[in-house]
Amino acid sequence: MTMTPVTDLCDLHEDKLVYGSLRVLAPVFRSFGKRAAFAGPASTLKVFEDNGLVRAALEEQGAGRVLVIDGGGSLRCALVGGNLGKLAEENGWEGILVNGCVRDTRELAECNVGIHALAVHPRKSIKKNAGQREVGVQMPGAYIQSGEWIYADEDGVLVSQDKLV
């Protein structure tokens, strides 16, 4: 998928930035997947140090969506690892955006999916399936609703109420 760079999207849609229908996330995310650039409608999760719902979501057909995981910014364990990255690739997810940590970075780098997260942590999370799906989530710099569009590349992450052309 060829995507317009996020810098160009910002330039093309300055009016949306002014009015808030296009928002820029805080510059805190690092890229870990094979694809640094990705875009798609958001499917949201709110979890804390528990990736049971992350696996359940990635087991579904992604249909070009971006899984947005509000992990509360926890730096105490990873919410996505190599197995989940591969699952995302196999099931047609466009990307994963994690307000938290990932692990198995060598494996994630081989997954043909975009994966942006705050940091790396070697410890795995618990699996109690606690959390909420398809709810509004607070990510660093912006609130995101399911269905809003995510645009990410090496220069940052954008959230838009509508698909940008």
Tell me the CATH number at 43: 3.50.30.40
Sheet strands (E) in 26-128: 30-31, 38-46, 66-70, 78-80, 95-102, 114-120
How many domains does one find in the chain?
A: 1
Report the helix count and the strand count for the chain, using DSSP H and E. 5, 12
- Alpha carbon dihedral 142, 152, 1, 164, in 10-degree steps, equals 40
- Note down the domain range covering 117: 6-15+28-160
Residue 1: inside a domain: no
C-alpha 54/C-alpha 156 separation (Å) is 23
Chain centroid to CA 80: 11
pLDDT of res. 165: 77
Kindly state the tokens that stand for 78.
């990873």
Residue 102 lies in a domain: yes
Residue 153 lies in a domain: yes
Question: Is 50 inside a domain boundary?
Answer: yes
- Tell me the pTM: 0.97
Q: Is 72 exposed, middle or buried (0-12, 13-18, 19+ CB in 10 A)?
A: middle
Amino acid sitting at position 146: S
| Residue 20 lies inside a defined structural domain of this protein | no
Residue 75 included in any domain: yes
SS3 104: coil
| pLDDT tens by residue, the chain, 165 residues | 579 999 999 999 999 999 999 999 999 999 999 999 999 999 999 999 999 999 999 999 999 999 999 999 999 999 999 999 999 999 999 999 999 999 999 999 999 999 999 999 999 999 999 999 999 999 999 999 999 999 999 999 999 999 997
Render 34-59 in DSSP notation, one character per residue: S-S-EEEEEEEEE-SSB-HHHHHHHT
* pLDDT for position 1: 56
In a domain, 165, yes or no: no
CA-to-CA distance for 45 and 48, rounded, in angstroms? 10
Residue 125 belongs to a domain:
yes
Residue (of 36, 44, 47) closest to 134 by Cα position: 44
